[in-house]
Amino acid sequence: MFAASRVFGAAQRRAFSASARDLSKVTVLGAAGGIGQPLSLLLKLNPRVTDLALYDIRGGPGVAADISHINTASKVTGYEPTPSGLDAALKGAEIVLIPAGVPRKPGMTRDDLFNTNASIVRDLAKAAAKSAPDANILVISNPVNSTVPIVAEIFKAAGVYNPKRLFGVTTLDVVRASRFVSEIKKTDPADENIVVVGGHSGVTIVPLFSQSSHPDLVGNANLLKRVQFGGDEVVQAKDGAGSATLSMAMAGARFAESLLKAKTQSGVIEPTFVDSPLYKDQGIDFFASKVELGPNGVEKIMDVGKITSEEQTLLDACLADLKKASCSEDSLPEHAH
């Protein structure tokens, strides 16, 4: 269990008890995919998860059978790829992670995934609105800047939208930025926690090094490029076999853990892409900034804080791009209806 002890502390494992308050069902939609499998593995290692529900259009039960042999206490169930299987996977879920959808190939942008992934996310959101209307929905499927607003529209149409419970997972940007900084500065990556705001693609990814202990990194063009286009590095290296899966699984598991921890602990803060008041006056409904998490999901959305003029220029470019990403169900591709 070396991985569990590194990802989750000993105190947390000891603190685990199966009181009703601690029962947490977590559902993964797209659980047999490149992200879904290692994400499910990491969730199985998290003692806060008591019931792990795995659903995919193919392979869910197989992944569940495999993971269920791991000697941690949670119950793992794989569901058949049927409407009733999906509903059962969702029923009673506290957290629903959605990594279902196609990944990029070299030469594609995340927006090129929209035509395929928008309808996948739309259909899964419809099922979640029906069977898990109170769950925290964590959207991983790209393009996150557009798939998150789609989920919001579906929940609104079903009359169950709670903006405090919808999250675009941008944790991988924080993870990458923190790791890249630690490599440059020769620090322990565990001590770095770089704030990244905006969205999750290219210029919408805005790291705020001025708010870290390394403000001299503002203006480091190579570092900025690696943070904004880190996903492309992996897409190119995988050479047609997909995009980041393992680092994304870690980032998704970290965000889920933060949400579970925030049920009982205050001061849990993660940047995440949420329905945000910060730039609504500019027509931007969703924005990633530091968010304090709590038992009801979003507790408090923080503004970007003090930034340098160089970072303001990056933020301006980000906002211009995000304006284009807003989406309603009406703008879904024709075949998706």
Ligand X SMILES: NC(=O)C1=CN([C@@H]2O[C@H](COP(=O)(O)OP(=O)(O)OC[C@H]3O[C@@H](n4cnc5c(N)ncnc54)[C@H](O)[C@@H]3O)[C@@H](O)[C@H]2O)C=CC1
Ligand Y SMILES: O=C([O-])CC(=O)C(=O)O
- Using the minimum distance from each CB to ligand Y, give the nearer residue, 31 or 52: 31
Span near ligand Y by CB under 6 A; candidates 59-67, 87-95, 103-111, 183-191: 103-111
Tokens standing for residue 171: 């944790």
CB of 108 to ligand Y, least distance (A): 8
Span near ligand Y by CB under 6 A; candidates 84-92, 227-235, 259-267, 291-299: 227-235
Active site residue 200: yes
Element (H or E) spanning 178, and its range? helix 171-185
* 65, 39 contact by CB (below 8 A): no
Asked if 104 touches ligand Y (CB under 6 A), the answer is: yes
Residues 234 to 253 in contact with ligand Y, rule: CB under 6 A: 234-235, 243-244
d(CA 259, CA 99): 17
* 88, 132 contact by CB (below 8 A): no
Tokens standing for residue 196: 């990244």
d(CA 276, CA 281): 11
Span near ligand Y by CB under 6 A; candidates 50-58, 145-153, 230-238, 289-297: 230-238
Tokens standing for residue 67: 């993971």
Q: Which among 200, 214, 335, 337 is annotated as catalytic?
A: 200
- Using the minimum distance from each CB to ligand X, give the nearer residue, 29 or 150: 29
Query: What are φ and ψ of residue 17, in 5° steps?
Result: -145, 155
Asked if 254 touches ligand Y (CB under 6 A), the answer is: no
Q: What is the residue type of 206?
A: V
Residues paired with 297 in a beta bridge: 294
CB of 14 to ligand X, least distance (A): 32
On whether 140 is known to bind a ligand per the annotation, the reply is yes
d(CA 128, CA 130): 5
d(CA 281, CA 36): 37
From 25, 44, 110, 165, residue interacting with ligand Y (rule: CB under 6 A): 110
- Using the minimum distance from each CB to ligand X, give the nearer residue, 169 or 253: 169
CB of 1 to ligand Y, least distance (A): 28
CB of 195 to ligand X, least distance (A): 16
Q: What is the residue type of 159?
A: G
Q: Residues marked as binding for NAD(+)?
A: 30-36, 56, 117, 140-142, 248
Q: Which residues are catalytic?
A: 200
